[in-house]
C-alpha cells in the first residue's frame, strides 16, 4: 500500500501571481486614490476580458452569485424557470431572490448537464426561461436548447462558472444563449479572489446592469430603480489583471496533470472520467471521476473518506442535489421519481485534486492509492506497478 502524503493534498489551490507584480499594480491604485466605482483597473480588466473571452458585452461584479442574480433581474423574468438540480446552490438561489420558481429537469448521464430532451415536457404557460449549467466544463446541448427556446419564446441563461475561456466548435461558450455568468472565485481557473461577470448580446442591458449593481443610481441625487451594491472594486480588478497573464500557463500545466490522471486511472475497474474535453474546448477547471460501486467494489463516499486517511482531499461535487433542499420539497419537479439520473449521479461523482502546482508524481500516487484500495478489497496481492508520468 502507498504511504500517506506528508502534507495535505487539497482539492484546489488559487492561481496567484507574484506578490511583487500585484504590489506594483496596487501602487497605481494608491496613486489614483480611486479604489471602487468603475476605476481605471476595473475598466482595464473589463476591456481585457472582453477581448480574451471574445464577447460583445461584459459587466463585472463583486461575485458570481450577484452577477447571476442581477442578470436574471435585468431580463424582467416572471414565473417558472427550467433548470438543473445538479449544480451549486447559488444557481437556484439566484432564482429564489428574483421570486422565480425553479422547475427541475433531470440530467444527461454522460455530461451531467441538463437533459435537453426532457425540457420541452416541463414547459407550461408560466415558463419564462431556461437556466442551464455547464457542469465541470461540459457544455449543455446548446443547439437543442436554442431550438426549444426559439419555439416557445424563452430566454436562455447559462451558468458558466466552470467554463472560463472554453469554446464549443470554435465558438466562445458565451456566444450561446442570451446571457452567461462566469465566476471569478478563488477556486476557479481565473480568479479575482472573489468576483464574477455577465456576458451578453443586448446592448440595452449595459446601462441597466450598471444601474442594478450600483444601487440604481443614475446620479448623485437620482435613483431610477431598485438595485444592489455588487460592483467589483479596484483591488479585485488588479488581481484579475495579473492572474489573466498566467492563465494560459496554468491551462498547460493542468492539461499535463489531466493526462497523467487519465493514463493511471484507465485500467481501474469502476472509474469513469467525466471531464474529457481538450484544449480550446476545455476550461481545465476540474478533473472529475465517477465511481461505479458495483464494478469498483466500494462507494464514492467510501473512497472519499479513505483518501482522507492518506491526506488526500476530494469533493463530492455537487452533493446534495438542490432539489433535495427542504424549501423545494413541495415542488412536483423536485420529487425523487422525476430525477432518476440526477439522484443516481450525485452519489457517484468525485472531484479530484487539480491545480497547476500539483506535481505529476503526486498525481500518480493518488491514482495508486485508488488502485490499492480496489485491490485490497479483492484480496489480490499483485498489481500494475508501471508509473505513467506523461
State pLDDT tens for residues 208-256.
999 999 999 999 999 999 999 999 999 999 999 999 999 999 999 999 9
Residue 178 is part of which domain span? Answer: 19-244
pLDDT above 50: residue 125:
yes
State whether 181 and 266 are in the same domain: no
Residue 176 has pLDDT above 60, yes or no: yes
49 and 137 housed in the same domain: yes
CB-based contact 274:112 (threshold 8 Å): yes
Residue 33 clears pLDDT 70, i.e. is over it = yes
Point out the domain boundary residue: 211, 244, 277.
244
Q: In this structure, is residue 13 part of a structural domain? A: no
The rounded distance, in Å, linking the Cα atoms of 359 and 18 is: 19
Q: Would the pLDDT of 174 be above 90? A: yes
| Same-domain pairing of 189 and 75 | yes
Is the preceding omega at residue 216 within 30 degrees of 0, hence cis?
Answer: no
**Above 70 in pLDDT, residue 276?**
yes
Assigned domain for 176 exists: yes
Which one of 244, 262, 296 terminates a domain? 244
> Which pLDDT score, from 0 to 100, does residue 381 have?
47
Average pLDDT taken over every residue of the chain? 96
Using CA atoms in the order 350, 286, 114, 168, what is the torsion angle rounded to 10 degrees? -150
Q: What is 78-120 written as a DSSP string?
A: -SEEEE-SSS-HHHHHHHHTTTPEEEE--B-TTT-SB-GGGTG
**Which CATH number do you get for residue 266?**
3.90.1150.10
The answer to whether the pTM exceeds 0.85 is yes
pLDDT over 80 (residue 363) = yes
Contacts of 230 (CB under 8 A, 6+ apart): 61, 62, 63, 66, 67, 69, 70, 212, 213, 214
Q: In the predicted model, what is the mean pLDDT of residues 123-148? A: 98
> pLDDT for 338-360, tens place per residue?
999 999 999 999 999 999 999 99
Tell me the pairing of strands 127-133 and 155-159: parallel
Place of cell 432518476: 340
- Number of domains comprising the chain: 2
**% the chain with pLDDT above 90:** 96
Q: For residue 155, what is the domain's CATH number? A: 3.40.640.10
Is pLDDT above 60 for 378? yes
Whether pLDDT at 1 is above 90: no
Q: For residue 380, what pLDDT band results from cuts at 50, 70 and 90?
A: low
Q: At what angle do helices 19-32 and 234-244 cross, to 10 degrees?
A: 140
Residues 196 and 285 in one domain: no
**Are 28 and 79 part of one and the same domain?**
yes
Strands 80-83 and 271-273: unpaired
Question: What three-state secondary structure class fits 218?
Answer: strand
Instruction: Assess whether pLDDT exceeds 70 at residue 379.
Output: no
Which of 244, 269, 287 represents a domain boundary (last residue)? 244
- pLDDT at position 323 over 60: yes
Q: What is the pLDDT of residues 3-22, one digit of tens each?
A: 999 999 999 999 999 999 99
Amino acid at each position: 500500500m502507498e504511504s500517506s502524503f506528508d502534507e495535505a493534498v487539497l482539492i484546489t489551490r488559487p492561481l496567484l501571481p507574484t506578490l511583487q507584480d500585484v504590489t506594483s499594480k496596487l501602487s497605481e491604485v494608491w496613486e489614483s486614490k480611486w479604489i471602487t466605482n468603475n476605476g481605471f483597473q476595473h475598466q482595464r480588466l473589463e476591456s481585457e476580458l472582453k477581448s480574451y473571452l471574445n464577447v460583445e458585452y461584459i459587466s463585472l461584479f463583486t461575485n458570481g452569485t450577484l452577477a447571476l442574480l442581477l442578470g436574471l433581474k435585468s431580463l424582467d423574468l416572471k414565473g417558472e424557470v427550467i433548470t438543473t438540480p445538479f449544480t451549486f446552490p447559488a444557481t437556484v438561489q439566484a432564482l429564489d431572490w428574483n421570486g422565480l420558481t425553479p422547475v427541475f429537469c433531470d440530467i444527461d448521464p454522460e455530461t451531467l448537464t441538463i437533459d435537453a430532451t426532457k425540457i420541452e415536457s416541463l414547459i407550461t404557460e408560466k415558463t419564462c426561461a431556461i437556466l442551464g449549467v455547464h457542469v465541470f466544463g461540459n457544455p449543455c446541448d446548446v443547439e437543442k436548447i436554442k431550438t426549444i427556446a426559439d419555439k416557445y419564446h424563452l430566454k436562455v441563461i447559462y451558468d458558466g462558472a466552470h467554463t472560463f475561456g472554453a469554446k464549443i466548435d470554435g465558438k466562445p461558450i458565451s456566444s450561446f444563449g442570451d446571457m452567461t455568468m462566469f465566476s471569478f472565485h478563488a477556486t476557479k481557473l481565473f480568479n479575482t479572489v472573489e468576483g464574477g461577470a455577465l456576458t451578453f448580446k443586448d446592448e440595452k442591458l449595459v446601462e441597466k446592469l450598471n444601474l442594478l449593481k450600483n444601487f440604481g443610481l443614475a446620479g448623485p441625487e437620482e435613483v431610477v430603480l431598485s438595485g444592489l451594491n455588487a460592483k467589483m472594486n479596484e483591488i479585485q480588478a488588479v488581481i484579475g489583471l495579473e492572474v489573466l497573464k498566467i492563465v494560459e500557463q496554468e491551462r498547460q500545466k493542468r492539461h499535463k496533470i489531466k493526462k497523467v490522471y487519465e493514463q493511471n486511472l484507465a485500467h481501474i475497474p469502476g472509474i469513469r472520467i467525466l471531464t474529457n474535453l481538450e484544449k480550446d474546448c476545455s476550461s481545465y477547471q476540474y478533473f472529475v471521476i465517477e465511481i461505479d460501486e458495483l464494478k469498483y467494489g466500494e462507494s464514492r463516499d467510501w473512497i472519499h473518506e479513505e483518501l482522507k486517511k492518506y491526506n488526500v482531499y476530494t469533493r463530492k461535487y455537487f452533493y446534495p442535489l438542490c432539489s433535495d433542499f427542504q424549501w423545494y420539497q413541495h415542488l412536483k419537479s423536485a420529487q425523487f421519481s422525476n430525477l432518476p439520473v440526477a439522484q443516481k449521479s450525485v452519489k457517484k461523482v468525485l472531484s479530484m485534486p487539480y491545480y497547476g502546482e500539483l506535481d505529476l508524481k503526486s498525481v500518480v500516487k493518488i491514482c495508486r492509492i485508488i488502485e490499492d484500495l480496489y485491490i485490497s478489497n479483492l484480496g489480490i496481492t499483485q498489481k500494475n506497478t508501471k508509473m505513467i508520468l506523461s
